Amino acid sequence: MSNPSDHTRDHVRVAVIGGGPAGLMAAEALARGGMQVDVYDAMPSVGRKFLMAGKGGMNITHSEPIEPFLGRYGKRRADIAPLLDAFGPDALRAWLDELGVHTFVGSSGRVFPTDMKAAPMLRAWLHRLREAGVRFHMRHKWISWAETAASGAHGLRFGTPEGEREVLADAVVLALGGGSWARLGSDAAWVPLMQQREIPVAPLLPANCGFDANWTDYFRERYAGEPVKPVSIAVENVDGTVQHRQGEFVVTSTGIEGSLVYAMSSTIRDRLLADGTVTIRLDLAPGLSAQRVIDQVTRPRGSRSMSSHLHSRIGITGVKLGLLHECLSKEDFTDAAKLAQAIKSLPLNLTRARPIDEAISSAGGIPFEALDNAMMLRTLPGVFCAGEMLDWEAPTGGYLLTACFASGLVAGRGAAAYLMAR
């Protein structure tokens, strides 16, 4: 192994830094293009966040038509669209089938491997990559740029258990992840390294995250961990439009999280950034019209308590009843008209997003405007970027993984074309 102190360097054709889905897909595209590929990762093994994401069932992509699929990428739709043209959800499923991993569509439209597991897929993929000649270098953390060679090859310095190692690479694909789940390798340590080369980096923000609410001690102790379903959330966007979505979320000791919250997290987060606080509206009876709720709640209840009345007339009980007590004054709870209105539009104040390291993913990163169509940095020829380190976000449901795979493929093909042109 080379030692920087004696000024020796290993010279490789192309270095892929980051062993997640984007990096591995870039490595595959390069190997298929006839390139020798060396993959470097700071962790003891590749794909750690990928494996963790698959623990509850590996949701690999989604089966919905491409138009609504693209809509999941929000303001970055136009940037993600060419990537999915190259490798969209159908192509991803076909690629998995070639790998020997068969998939099925769940009742929600989400696509899963038939065994629901990530590990067999990753093992099969790594076997194929090694068969193609891809070399893996574990416990190699990229720590700095090194001197660029006269040939234009990029110098890279890695920290390893045996000390620092320098590598010259004719092309580099960076697939270093975002800022969430640092213990699995996505620690955003690359941000200052890019800034050293004057590459713009949008601030990293939590995405697909939970939010804090100022629960009372009683509510926290009584309901933390309870799912709220079915329920609808309405929240006003920064542009004044209102976003509605139905699903379920979970009460936590600090606030709320879960699939419905994650789906709306970008809107809630952006309102918090703009205003410092945000009030979302909960519809605790999304299957009933507002008039139906009013009619049932305002019916005479005799000697029954209001809580018993709500349970018998519209099925409000448990954590939903707790939310009403938590968010309404005693006077409003006993006022049938005001209570009926609150059931369909209960205000819940959220105070902050949970820390980025708790988030499923992150927003922010290198903007697409800094890249050309091949995912190469415009001001750093021969260096390509892919995956979650780019400035985009998407909800859970397979959208994150699909775009990571696609961006890796496009970056890998771009790097191969760049090397062939040289």
User: Mean pLDDT across the stretch 246-266?
Assistant: 96
Q: What is the mean pLDDT of the chain?
A: 95
pLDDT, tens digit (0-9, with 9 covering 90-100), for 297-327: 999 988 889 999 999 999 999 999 999 999 9
| Residue 8 pLDDT | 57
According to CATH, the topology of domain 4-206+362-421 is FAD/NAD(P)-binding domain (3.50.50)
Residue 4 pLDDT > 50: no
Per domain, the residue ranges of the chain are 4-206+362-421, 211-353
| Residue 302 pLDDT | 87
Residue 293 pLDDT > 70: yes
| Residue 152 pLDDT | 87
| Residue 276 pLDDT | 94
| Residue 274 pLDDT | 94
pLDDT, tens digit (0-9, with 9 covering 90-100), for 224-234: 999 999 999 99
Between 15 and 147, residue with greater pLDDT: 15
User: Mean pLDDT across the stretch 384-396?
Assistant: 96
| Residue 149 pLDDT | 82
| Residue 6 pLDDT | 42
| Residue 148 pLDDT | 84
HSE-up (13 A, CA, CB side) for residue 16: 36
Residue 7 pLDDT > 80: no
pLDDT, tens digit (0-9, with 9 covering 90-100), for 177-220: 999 988 888 899 999 999 999 999 999 999 999 999 999 999 99
Between 303 and 222, residue with greater pLDDT: 222
pLDDT, tens digit (0-9, with 9 covering 90-100), for 405-415: 999 999 999 99
Residue 3 pLDDT > 70: no
